[in-house]
Amino acid sequence: MSMADAVGIWNDELEDQYLAAEYVIMRREKWDHRYMEIAHTVAKWSKDPSTQVGAILVAPGGRQIFWGYNGFPAGVLDAPDLLADREQKYPRVIHAEANALLMSNTDLSDWVCYCTLMPCSNCTAMLIQKGITRVVVPKLTGKHDHWQESFRVARHMADQVGMKIEELTHVI
């Protein structure tokens, strides 16, 4: 076999590997968008008039899902006047990610969290503790500037443990 033949075979093998990798990436992106759609649907269940957040926890293989949205604990009065007053609302609200984690009753190692907003530092700490290895969020906008320091700390913690935080460039 000549060197040219060997290079040709190598290139064919590389091309096959490249095409297989592209297929996997395209398939994952398709499912990322589908799960993010579900997270946005779940977010609409929140009664919070200013920010509705949804979170979906997805098992490897996608066969098991837990969900949560931001809101008051079950049984706590979520009257419109309490929801409209941030000083009254914030101490009562359970974040979407925390709600999803509370709904889970299994080992979450290597699961993915799809969240309609970047998780705060507290929720990121809980996701790390439960073994979540990847978090998918929409591209951040300036709407939540008051959370920027918490988001910075969250990203720093995620980097330290190898948790991937990926932004979707557009949501279907």
Q: What tokens were used for 151?
A: 């988001």
Determine whether 97 is an active site residue: yes
State both tokens at 8.
């040709």
Question: Where does the chain show beta strands of DSSP type E?
Answer: 54-58, 65-69, 112-115, 134-138, 164-168
User: CB count, 10 Å around CB of 97?
Assistant: 29
CB atoms within 10 A of CB 13: 10
Cβ–Cβ under 8 Å, residues 138 and 169: no
Spot the catalytic one: 15, 22, 97, 149: 97
Catalytically active residues are 97
